[in-house]
Chain A
Amino acid sequence: MKKHRILIANRGEIAIRIMRAIRELGLEYVVVYTREDENSLHVAMAMDSGFPYKAAYRISNYKDPNEIFSVADEAECTAIHPGYGFFSENFRFARRAALRSRPVVFIGPRWEVIRDLGSKINTKRLAKQLGVPVIPGSDAPIYSEMEAEALADELFYLQREQGIQHPSVLVKASAGGGGMGIEEVNHLDAFRRVYRRIQNYAKRQFGDEGVLIEQCLTDYQHLEVQLLGSSHGEVVHFSTRNCTIQSTGRQKRLEVAPGFDPEHFEYPFDAGAVLDKMVEYSVRLASHVGYDNVGTWEWVVTRDGRPYLLEVNTRIQVENEVSACISRVAGSSEPINLIKEQIRVGLGDKIGYSQKDISFEGTSIEMRIVAEDTRRGFVPWCGTITRFEFPDTPWARLYTHVPGNRPYKIPTEYDPNLALAIIWGKDTPEAKERAREFLMKANIEGRDAQGGEILINLDYLYERIEDVLRF
Chain B
Amino acid sequence: MDINLNDLLRRYRSHPFEDYHVETEHTGKISFKVKEGQEVRGPGGKWGQRPGTLLYLLERERNVKKIHATWNGQIAELKREKEGRFVEAGEVILAIRHRLGKEEIMDRILTRVLHIFPAPQRARYLLIPELAQKLEKTSEKGVFIEPGDESLIMSLMKRDTLISYDGPPGVIYKVYFQSGAIVEQGDPLLGICPPDKLRYVQKVIQRIRTEWEE
Contacts and interface: CB of A to CB of B under 8 A. Distances in A.
B48 to A, nearest CB: 23
Contact of B157 (A57, A59, A66, A412): A412
A70 B28 contact: yes
Contacts of A61: 26, 89
Nearest to A66: B61
Contacts of B28: 70
Interface in B23-57: 25-28
A67 B60 CA distance: 8
B86 A60 contact: no
A382 B156 contact: yes
Interface string A59-79: 111001011011100100000
B184 to A, nearest CB: 11
Contact of B121 (A57, A58, A412, A414): A412
Contact of A59 (B26, B61, B120, B185): B26
Contact of A64 (B26, B88, B120, B156): B26
A81 B123 CA distance: 30
A416 interface: yes
Contacts of A34: 89
Contacts of B185: 449
B11 interface: no
B88 A59 contact: yes
B86 A74 contact: yes
A57 B86 CA distance: 11
Interface in A127-150: none
Contacts of B27: 57, 59-60, 67, 70-71, 74
Given A59-B27, A414-B157, A35 B90 contact: yes
Contacts of A380: 156-157, 159
Category for how many chain B residues contact A: 20 to 34
Most B CB within 10 A of own CB, among A34, A60, A74, A412:
A412
B122 interface: yes
Interface in B91-121: 91, 120-121
B18 to A, nearest CB: 22
Contacts of A466: none
Contacts of B159: 379-380
A54 to B, nearest CB: 10
Contact of A60 (B25, B61, B156, B158): B25
A415 B157 contact: yes
A35 B185 CA distance: 16
Give the size range of A's interface with the partner.
20 to 34
Nearest to B59: A70
B121 to A, nearest CB: 6
A379 B91 CA distance: 34
Nearest to B27: A70
B91 to A, nearest CB: 8
B60 A66 contact: yes
A418 to B, nearest CB: 13
Interface in B169-186: 185
Contacts of A69: 61
Contacts of A449: 120-121, 185
A381 B12 CA distance: 41
Contacts of B26: 59-61, 64, 66-67, 70
Nearest to B24: A60
Contacts of B88: 57-59
Given A57-B27, A60-B25, A449-B120, A382 B157 contact: yes
Contacts of A415: 157-158
B121 A67 contact: no
A66 B25 CA distance: 12
A64 B61 CA distance: 12
A70 B121 CA distance: 33
A105 B6 CA distance: 65
A449 B156 CA distance: 14
B82 to A, nearest CB: 14
Contacts of B91: 58
Contacts of A412: 121-123, 156-157
A122 B96 CA distance: 54
A70 B65 CA distance: 14
Contacts of B25: 60
A35 B26 CA distance: 12
Nearest to A34: B89
Interface in B59-98: 60-61, 63, 86, 88-91
B157 A60 contact: no
B90 A58 contact: yes
Nearest to B63: A66
Nearest to A65: B61
Nearest to A413: B157
A414 B121 CA distance: 15
Nearest to A57: B88
A226 to B, nearest CB: 28
11 contacts: A59-B89, A60-B89, A64-B26, A66-B26, A66-B60, A67-B89, A70-B61, A382-B156, A382-B157, A412-B122, A449-B185
Given A35-B89, A382-B156, A382-B157, 17 more contacts: A34-B89, A58-B90, A58-B91, A59-B26, A61-B89, A64-B26, A67-B60, A70-B26, A70-B27, A70-B60, A70-B61, A74-B27, A380-B157, A412-B122, A412-B123, A414-B157, A415-B158
Closest 7 CB pairs of A and B: A60-B89, A58-B88, A380-B157, A60-B26, A70-B27, A70-B60, A74-B86
